Structure 1
């Protein structure tokens, strides 16, 4: 198990090894902590932590490796919250491989928020800048608070109907691609707007435009199956809510249907 954590502020090294030991159920002498480039290490230790300096809004990177001797290691979000509490600081960890700016920040009180963090070009140590967070952290005041919607598109949703189309008719690539995008939104709706429980009105509008592109396929059973699920999950308000949020809407019965509650009603980072 590998963990990657970024630390804000001074790193309390006296607390680091005991915190990792307690987290991973070993003794502190079974945790090897060393600086990047230091060859005088206990490479046979069950847990190793390599410390590297970074610059900007975060100051240290911890590359933690828990070897095979560690059974049932904690998931990264739990481990990050543990370290934030024990080290009494803010800990960052990457949320998704893409986009690379997608992070979580967790404070010593356990408060967690999504964060957008960019790496600046540098010939020296890595420079990291926190561009925005979705909710304030008491331990890290002054950060810009704003929605971070780009992670939504990267979060893959199940598309069983589309998968059947791809398996049965590989040549129907264009249809399957559009159907997959439409089914992905309907699946997200059904599951409560993963990953964070909200969805921008602009994204919803884009999905309905994809349904426009499928209008000529209305007779096709896979599309009818996805449409039926969409109808079950929405109500017809005549298009009022989406018009209020994004402007006038085209024709098409799908443009008149909305979920309740609206997924953009409680957008993070907005008053």
Structure 2
């Protein structure tokens, strides 16, 4: 079965080094690896019958090269893309990035020469090397972070472009495959673990990845079936708004109950947005019609799970982190509790 790899690398090794690394990775002799530089037009004079074909081209910014690799059936059991990236990184001494499949187009994995593997966000930058339209601060461009009036990323009220509230340049997609006005500028905007060769990247949880993570929501699903069995409720109607808010609240509650998967981390800014969602549920329960009893029961079930995974501290932690002090005491009881083990860096 033919295998394909698409890599981005921080460094651009010489073609002989590329060929030797790929040969060692795939268990073939160097002569069976054909490496061609697309920038110089070498692709017109290559051995198209070689079992391993590698085409590389220049990119700019935080990265130096894009690789397209195809491996024919003549090579038995080629490694997975993740394993290949990690082994190439070690062989060549360069960080290797590859796309996180079935995730937002800006989502990548980065494999470092020291064996570190972390999620990364790669954006297309401008001519000056900066991310087009990016705004900094907070999680994914979020500003503020107080109890009220936060703007930017996160659930509800997200502003700006990007993926799930991330502001700034678009994901690279296929942009790195060439441009008439020079190599594309790619910026590694954020990584989830420090990478020695990506010192400019922010380190922290990438929020849009959490939005994409599958979380079981049986309570919200049951509410949806009971109140909108045909899925045709008006988008702006009370039933649909209640379903969406219940879904978001349950996603938080299930994360707490299962120890904050996948890696025990969750941004504080998103946690605050989830607490605001709980406030919306209270407001919706007041105006809901025939579905009110179903909504109240569903919220009560999830609230019990939330209480079980949190501790009452009279709002001390949230009051401190949101810089709202004792004002938190006047809000709903869920603001008065803290996770037993907060999943963010305090």
Q: Normalising to structure 1: TM-score of the pair?
A: 0.80
Identify which of 180, 200, 206 aligns with 2:267. 200
Name the counterpart of 1:252: 332
Instruction: Give secondary structure in 1 for the equivalent of 2:54.
Output: strand
RMSD (Å) for aligned C-alpha atoms: 3.1
Relative distance call for 1:52 and 1:154 in structure 2 (3 A) is farther
Give, in whole Å, the separation in 2 of the partners of 1:231 and 1:108: 43
Asked if 1 retains the 8 angstrom alpha-carbon contact of 2:215 and 2:254, the reply is yes
Identify which of 229, 238, 244 aligns with 1:177. 244
Relative distance call for 1:188 and 1:74 in structure 2 (3 A) is farther
Name the counterpart of 1:269: none
4+ runs of 1 displaced by more than 6 Å? none
Q: How many residues align?
A: 265
Structure 2: unaligned runs, 5 residues or longer: 128-180, 234-238, 286-291
Give, in whole Å, the separation in 2 of the partners of 1:223 and 1:67: 55
Name the counterpart of 2:184: 126
Asked if 2 retains the 8 angstrom alpha-carbon contact of 1:152 and 1:195, the reply is no
Mapped pair 1:163 → 2:221 = yes
Name the counterpart of 1:265: 345
Aligned ranges 1:219-230 → 2 under 5 Å:
220=295, 221-230=297-306
Structure 1: unaligned runs, 5 residues or longer: 267-271
C-alpha displacement at 1:204, in angstroms? 0.8
Asked if 1 retains the 8 angstrom alpha-carbon contact of 2:99 and 2:109, the reply is yes
Identify which of 53, 66, 81 aligns with 1:48. 53
Mapped pair 1:78 → 2:83 = yes
Asked if 2 retains the 8 angstrom alpha-carbon contact of 1:95 and 1:102, the reply is yes
Give, in whole Å, the separation in 1 of the partners of 2:91 and 2:245: 48
Mapped pair 1:211 → 2:274 = no
Instruction: Give secondary structure in 1 for the equivalent of 2:331.
Output: coil
Name the counterpart of 1:6: 8
Deviations 1:104-163 (A, max 9, x none): 43321112344443312462211123344454434x274354435433443323233223
C-alpha displacement at 1:85, in angstroms? 0.5
Which stretch shifts more, 94-103 or 117-126?
Answer: 94-103
Relative distance call for 1:219 and 1:165 in structure 2 (3 A) is closer
Relative distance call for 1:72 and 1:196 in structure 2 (3 A) is farther
Mapped pair 1:147 → 2:204 = yes
Give, in whole Å, the separation in 1 of the partners of 2:293 and 2:279: 10
Give, in whole Å, the separation in 1 of the partners of 2:80 and 2:47: 24
